[in-house]
Structure 1
């Protein structure tokens, strides 16, 4: 009887919620109570609202509880937007809730809007407690209240704390696309390549998952907007308030006023810097300080495709673990088609000290010291690598592949191939996905690069995903490690939610 009372309270609250949230009648009919199969015996409710319209839903019965407008939220392969300008659109909004047996509940609504070049995702929360006998519904809006100012707290620190508090309601805000004249993204960093990829190459912020965000910032600015032609600036940080990664690049074409120099009038010179700031006065930084001076010449420039040959002079400053400078030269080809397609391929030659390749990879915060040591290039070793990324930013879909190998004394070794697929917005039946394929080539196997790709020897497959198929929802974490004989070792972590009326 008590459970029936609780369900009645929860249903009443959801009815009230539809007054304030843009849920269609079809969504509420499909809403149901979800039982989370865990030891704490909690009950949760998860639905995903469709757009309100006079038309019937495009998804058939039993499909994912979200509907993407075919006209207002699409991007073409070159990264340009095709939605009707200045018409707001909502897509892939997600409503998540959790309730406990004592009547306490919390609701998180995560809408996704686009208005012209502006798109944003919010994370709005309501919590409270409901009882039936006697009936009472208490809403707790304390998370929405402005934090109190402490005694002797200076205004700058207080304003920063307030901004951080209300910034937690924002999953992301984005203006434009990468490589536009002006591009700004606030939120979790996804697929960031800085310049030709010398310091940051297809970087993802893996420190937070789908249901979490982080106040990262990525800015690309064309100097023409400031009256400085043939120049530009880019800034990247994974957290505005407590960064573990901060990088920037400035570039210019110093000879653009001398067209008689033909090809060299388009020479682009850039200076990049990446570092891992300290979190406190007594804390050590996560990573090394790195500097790149790059020179690039365009070999093909069109609106849909840009190709450049480049030369980088690389410098790594000493850190606590390694007191020695490191330097290297890097040569290669890179290009992009707006934000959709980005690639680079290069040859790196260490010239002095200890130089580490791909130092600021996506896992640099959790990487073990022995794994970092494997990135160090010995003098006399040539390092070959190539990276390709496909970014469907409007759909939250990112694909990337990275290949590398070392050459020492005319012998190729330390092959590596890593492919990633990441979905960070609801997509068909998938709410989120992080899938990685990693192929290693130990020296003892003697496998060639392409030969090794045909086998499962020394392969690691890992995946974390949330899949929703009515009336079930699956949170799945899977890892499969195949040894030198292709014998697998599995580890599986699942959470199943079952809908009941």
Structure 2
């Protein structure tokens, strides 16, 4: 039996039969020591027959006091199911006298408290063991049935009225999160000419939950094929309120009523025009609801290419554009206020994204501008690249580029793209070039004269194998 099969069998056994009992040295290993003065090591990756969708990554960290941790991240598929796991074993070793002990506390069943009911304890067990799952995916977005458990990456809900090209930046690049993205064609539930989508960034403690339902009310008018395929949808997105004194206001609920009319439908491309009525409820900082209407064009080529372009016109209240942007959990109140679109201003935006889910590569560009009293202003150009699986020598990557156009510069939109004035670049990456692994954090700020300010954080680890 090959070594890769043995590794997979060992994984199954560890999940199915958690180690019980006291493990030698468990008390001293309950809190991992600092990784200062540590050496990291990696073993050759395993490839799983023809069902592999990538390379499994086996990494380890060892410290000078004898603590070690092994992390195996296999990536494989079974039929339409794709798995990414993150399996960890830790322990301690001493040389004189030689002593090796393992800490299996992460694999042991959690203790059931006396006041816990069976349902609550079952949820605790599920939450405990799903920590080892980075993602599970069935199908692809826009399939008849699509389910993905894991961190949200490149999510657009419907035509993008509420959620548009969303990446979960509430956790680190290499960290996972128990999010859920679900799309179901109504025919699979016995409800023809309808559909449903649901997303949440955390099934246990969500800070974002959203859904969309749609129907085709004119489906019986087959002699008018364009109108018979018209969709009428209702979308909803929300986040819980934060405690008073926190940096950014949450708690606002977003509702969108959308009408989508297909211009072109083909197996490889769908193109629609749409109109939305948008409602934003009050939150902890904004006591007045907001209403706007939005119209534009959107489409997708299967799940790989998604795009939309729209015009949004606020009519009542204090309206925020991109309320649920990728950084909504970590932005400041000042950054939230910058998303305000005043009454009398028209907001224009366009988004293009490429999603190579099997390779873990996601690319997005966004163009934004405002129009007031016959002039365009507040231009922004944003580009993001995200790598969630090992790609060539890159283990993970989050790269962002943002070009701002203050009115004082007088730059035109396209001419400004050729300069570095008012540009912000940020990157967080893990790059592996044997025998080294580099953890890189970089931010570059260019002012109005294109003078740069750099901030660079790096950590270098040595790979023994």
Normalised to the residue count of structure 2, the TM-score between the two structures is 0.90
Matched, 1:93 2:59: no
Q: Equivalents in 1 of 2:243, 2:255: separation in Å?
A: 23
Residue in 2 that maps onto 1:56: none
Matched, 1:45 2:41: yes
For 1:219-230, what aligned pairs fall within 5 Å after superposition? 219-230=182-193
Residue in 2 that maps onto 1:343: 307
Any idea what the Cα deviations from partners look like across 1:455-496, whole Å, max 9, x if unmatched? 000001111111111111111111110000000000000001
For 1:285-296, what aligned pairs fall within 5 Å after superposition? 286-296=250-260
User: Which stretch of the first structure deviates more once superposed, 313-322 or 261-270?
Assistant: 261-270
Residue in 1 that maps onto 2:404: 440
Q: Equivalents in 2 of 1:262, 1:136: separation in Å?
A: 75
Residue in 2 that maps onto 1:453: 417
Residue in 2 that maps onto 1:466: 430
Matched, 1:249 2:212: yes
For 1:181-196, what aligned pairs fall within 5 Å after superposition? 181-196=144-159
SS of equivalent to 1:213: coil
Kept after mapping to 1: 8 A contact 2:352/2:365 = yes
Any idea what the Cα deviations from partners look like across 1:24-76, whole Å, max 9, x if unmatched? xxxxxxxxxxxxxx9831222233413278xxxxxxxxxxxxxxxxxx5xxxx
Match of 1:267 among 230, 234, 243: 230
Residue in 2 that maps onto 1:137: 100
Kept after mapping to 2: 8 A contact 1:120/1:174 = yes
Instruction: Give 1:263 shift.
Output: 2.9
Instruction: Give 1:174 shift.
Output: 0.2
Matched, 1:208 2:171: yes
Residue in 1 that maps onto 2:298: 334
SS of equivalent to 2:124: helix
Matched, 1:365 2:365: no
User: Which stretch of the first structure deviates more once superposed, 274-283 or 138-147?
Assistant: 274-283
Kept after mapping to 2: 8 A contact 1:91/1:112 = yes
Q: Equivalents in 2 of 1:310, 1:299: separation in Å?
A: 10
Match of 2:262 among 298, 305, 309: 298
Shift in alpha-carbon separation, 1:252–1:370, aligned structure 2, 3 A: same
SS of equivalent to 2:119: helix
SS of equivalent to 1:199: coil
Gaps of at least 5 residues in structure 1 are: 1-16, 23-37, 54-71, 73-87
Any idea what the Cα deviations from partners look like across 1:361-385, whole Å, max 9, x if unmatched? 0001111111111111111111110
Any idea what the Cα deviations from partners look like across 1:139-159, whole Å, max 9, x if unmatched? 221211111111111222222
Shift in alpha-carbon separation, 1:218–1:138, aligned structure 2, 3 A: same
Kept after mapping to 2: 8 A contact 1:242/1:279 = no
SS of equivalent to 1:165: helix
Q: Equivalents in 2 of 1:410, 1:176: separation in Å?
A: 47
SS of equivalent to 1:153: coil
Kept after mapping to 2: 8 A contact 1:327/1:352 = yes
Matched, 1:482 2:446: yes
Any idea what the Cα deviations from partners look like across 1:146-198, whole Å, max 9, x if unmatched? 11111111222222111111110100000000000000000000000000000
Residue in 2 that maps onto 1:419: 383
Kept after mapping to 1: 8 A contact 2:242/2:251 = no
Kept after mapping to 2: 8 A contact 1:216/1:239 = yes
Q: Equivalents in 1 of 2:401, 2:124: separation in Å?
A: 40
Normalised to the residue count of structure 1, the TM-score between the two structures is 0.84
Match of 1:320 among 277, 284, 298: 284
For 1:171-186, what aligned pairs fall within 5 Å after superposition? 171-186=134-149
Kept after mapping to 1: 8 A contact 2:140/2:146 = yes
Residue in 1 that maps onto 2:23: none
Kept after mapping to 2: 8 A contact 1:173/1:187 = yes
Kept after mapping to 2: 8 A contact 1:419/1:437 = yes
User: Which stretch of the first structure deviates more once superposed, 107-116 or 383-392?
Assistant: 107-116
Kept after mapping to 1: 8 A contact 2:174/2:388 = no
Kept after mapping to 1: 8 A contact 2:135/2:148 = yes
Kept after mapping to 2: 8 A contact 1:49/1:95 = yes
Residue in 1 that maps onto 2:348: 384
Instruction: Give 1:211 shift.
Output: 2.8
**Aligned residue pairs, count:** 438
Kept after mapping to 1: 8 A contact 2:41/2:464 = no
Instruction: Give 1:209 shift.
Output: 2.6
User: Which stretch of the first structure deviates more once superposed, 122-131 or 426-435?
Assistant: 122-131
Shift in alpha-carbon separation, 1:138–1:217, aligned structure 2, 3 A: same
Gaps of at least 5 residues in structure 2 are: 9-33
Q: Equivalents in 2 of 1:268, 1:138: separation in Å?
A: 61
